[in-house]
Structure 1
């Protein structure tokens, strides 16, 4: 069964057989809730992703095993498990920086899939592999390092913190100015887009910026 490149890390089932170029083919509306535990550590990053209707319809074609033009039961379970396995090398598109150091995430226990109003939804909790105290400067973001999938937080309220430990922290939502980034990196972006987009995509990503005492 063919799987979508941006979502699952292999070639696009819609027919792409060559490398993905550095512009989005899949569009996602996202919500991120960063949850702190009673010990002052980051307990989980709760992700909700809603995919565009065109991509969602192609997922139905790939996974509708009983040919009823909808996704239910085992079909949704298979989608969630395929994503869980395939996005591990991309840290589940969920990025944490702990005082300048990248944080590795554990594999989620499960990724839930649903189809609502013709759009695929994925829900999952991403957790740091090691305890991550709320101390100093942390940033949280959700973006595709291959730049194949555009993940958007439409409103600042889609980036949420939860837990008393955040009372000692200051929260800001960072939305980079794309025009400014392009201007400041004009000499390097063209080659980077086509040869190594991994280092460039984070420049354009919306992030939740946390500074704690």
Structure 2
């Protein structure tokens, strides 16, 4: 397993406490949740822009011909590595239907680019089972359960719904207040950390998300 897989997936060579305590990789993201013509959630489009420090480490690891850039074959290798690495993490997607977690299918491809010193990734995932929208409450968020990667949506406009079926829903971007989350869930958060300090689904309480009541 190469360095990129280790860093991004947070699987090896990490101190569990350190990984839980604070992020080491920073991503600015955009999420587009797309409704299909059949009234089901069709797919989620993800755009990730990585911080320059992490991006430079990827350049060093994947620049096999040492020309100080990532050529097309090297970019494809980065995408393949991420596609294989994050499958167990559902590509950081947290998606629920009336409170039930819905997993995602493995994306066909993760497209990668490297511009102005920053790594960019573009990919789409689909729900692993039908997500009917009418009369249901849906939630969509992107977060790393290990908290090793910080995924930030700079503005509410970076989390959007698309498709006619969403027009009849009440859609809201929710940005939880960390202090309030800790105060309201102190006992359960402490228990979750000591039971599984490498990462817990409780971290989703802090994640920015789209809530849709349809």
Aligned length, in residue pairs: 208
User: What residue number does 2:54 align with?
Assistant: 55
SS in 2 for 1:105: coil
User: What residue number does 1:184 align with?
Assistant: 184
Tell me the CA shift for residue 17 of structure 1. 5.1
Deviations 1:50-92 (A, max 9, x none): 0000000000111010101111211000010111111010001
Q: Distance in 2 between matches of 1:130 and 1:42?
A: 10
CA contact (8 A) 1:3 1:10 kept: no
Is residue 154 of structure 2 the alignment partner of residue 154 of structure 1?
yes
For the aligned residue pairs, the C-alpha RMSD in angstroms reads 1.6
User: What residue number does 1:38 align with?
Assistant: 37
Question: TM-score with structure 2 length normalisation?
Answer: 0.91
Deviations 1:100-119 (A, max 9, x none): 10001110000001111111
CA contact (8 A) 2:10 2:148 kept: no
Consecutive unaligned residues in structure 2, runs of 5 or more: none
User: What residue number does 1:26 align with?
Assistant: 25
Tell me the CA shift for residue 193 of structure 1. 3.8
Consecutive unaligned residues in structure 1, runs of 5 or more: none
Question: TM-score with structure 1 length normalisation?
Answer: 0.91
Tell me the CA shift for residue 153 of structure 1. 0.6
Runs of 4+ in 1 over 4 A off after TM superposition: none
Pairing of 1:51-200 with structure 2 (within 5 A): 51-135=50-134, 136-190=136-190, 192-193=192-193, 195-196=196-197, 197-200=199-202
Q: Distance in 1 between matches of 2:210 and 2:42?
A: 16
Tell me the CA shift for residue 188 of structure 1. 4.3
SS in 2 for 1:157: helix
CA contact (8 A) 1:28 1:150 kept: yes
